[in-house]
Structure 1
Amino acid sequence: MNQGIAEITLIYALPLGISFVTIFATATTCGRNTKFAGAILSTLSIVIDCLFYFVKNTIIVQNVEGGILLSFFLLFLFGILCLVQTEEWSARVQFLLFSFCMLTGCIGTACFERPALVLTSSYSPTELVTHNKKYEDYISSFDNAYNENKEQGKVQVSAQNGDKQFDSDSDEDVELAPEVMDRLDTYADKAESIVDKMFDIMYAVSSFEPMEPNAGEMEREKRSQQALAINNRATTLNRKAIGIFHPLEAREAHTELVQASETIRSATHVLYSYCLLEDPEEARKKYAQAHDLIVIARRHVDKFNKIIQNLKTNNQPQQ
């Protein structure tokens, strides 16, 4: 399944579908008491949906894991509604067990499945740093697997081509087949959406105003939450950049894309660390480091665009 379709399904289609089913079940129920209970549960579902979709990265992180967590909780509410509606004891026991399983899945997803998927308002900045570090370790496992696969791919290509070295100059001299160009165009289109999001995050880091040295605890807490939201976006984008399928001919360009996303993720983490430092000198260094990393990320993005443009230009049909 296409990754974008899967994300849309888990973040939007599944939670909203459960909410509509709950509302429909409330509208078709009989009895004033059950309608009243259904109205309360339906209202609660709508409120939770609004928090998830409109108050992004403040109460809960809006990503695939957040959509799964939301779906578990909405199914829990739906199970309670079914429990209230039914009159048979055997059915009530079944719906009670169903609701318990959904609540267990909700709590398990929130606390254990993804270290960074936390209710941010319940944690102090120091605790959030700990959770964020655990999530970085989780992401690094993807990076290591990606690097191992890349090295194995290089060995296989070297064996098949008589240990011939590949570089950007050789790419420019080889005419790509039409089907390869189609794959390249598909990859370039997907990568373009990632690059656009990269620029949004880089702008957010560059426009992040420095804090006053004597900023109060409330101000520091507010700014750290903003920086954490940016860091979560960068981490999610980094995963997308690593997982995007790329043809062999675009391996060098893809390496630059991954390097750019890695650098942006590092910049946002440094920015978040900056918000937690109380030493003015150390904070100033962290702030400058975050901006320096953004400059490096822009260079990787520029190199990526240049390589993709060269691949397309050198393989266009001659007039």
Structure 2
Amino acid sequence: MIHNPKHYLCNRYCAKSTLVSLRSAIDDSWLVDEPKIGSDKSVSPQKVIDFDLSSVDSPQIQENKELSQAAIDTEAPVNNCEILNETSEVKRRRYSSPYSFYGAIDIGASDLACLEEGKWLNDVIVDFYMEHLLATYMTNRRAERIFCLSSLASPAVQRFDRRTSGCGSVLLDAYKAFEPFTKRIDLFSKDFVLFPLSLSYHWILVIICYPSWLLLQGATSRLYPDRKCCILIFDSFGASTRSSSTAQRLRGLLEEEWKAKKVPLGHPPLEFKSTTIPLRNMKVPLQMNCSDCGLFVLHYAETFLKHLFSDDKFSLSKFCVADLTDWFPLADIERKRSDIKNMVLKLPIV
């Protein structure tokens, strides 16, 4: 499991251009370069950066430079035997996208091993595929209003507990662990924030809908009643009591984010409660084993984005109460491990 996000970042992400660890980027830039600016009652319908790789001297990278995002999207099968070297060790591969907020992602043999049948997906594979989904839809004008939060922010959610509100330093420390992942992004400018959240040994998908509309008050918001901020949880084990505590923690982090980013700009303080940001547990296809939760999270996200971008009249209120148990065939999940593995094996070698 992830214990220290900053420690994990150095193994996963490479900062722009220099390809150094993102841990350095956090220490030297994200946290220092900007001056300081100044019980759940939700109703649920379900019971319950342009990267320049030319500076890298590896001839293999230069040789594979043509394997861009377009190559990933092709359906041509990959000859795995040609990808492996003489010792049958999988070569490390790198995914980068000009739309990525966090940097390039390096994928190694241990990460690919997570795609074997019966294995749990790790954060590297999950974040890679989420970044790929975002890049796929960035040509759509509405995509600028969507953000994918890194799964490495999961420990901050686990640590944040409003029941410790008597100890402000505890809440502040928990928010400080979350802050690096949103330091250069305004969550309240987005319509949808997708977050693959790791809860110990289980993945769920969280979608925070219309946080941008929290800025609108009075008559303006009443003109668009369908655009109400809420939290959607997609859980392949079905709705559970942990959904309420998870939503409560997310509201708390959003409230701290509002205090840090919006109040200093003159916006009034807001109360982030279950009545203002309700929780919706979505009725979705469920997993039939103990290892496919990560695959379901990725397919929930992919199917949601397809639905969102194919429907110009997307209605959140209708979507929230829809029965999505037949949203997609389970055969899609059965193919996803091999599909993702083929995508990874087409990436440039580091």
Structure 1 or 2: more strand by fraction: 2
TM-score (norm 1): 0.28
Structure 1 or 2: more helix by fraction: 1
TM-score (norm 2): 0.26
| Larger radius of gyration between Structure 1 and Structure 2 | 1
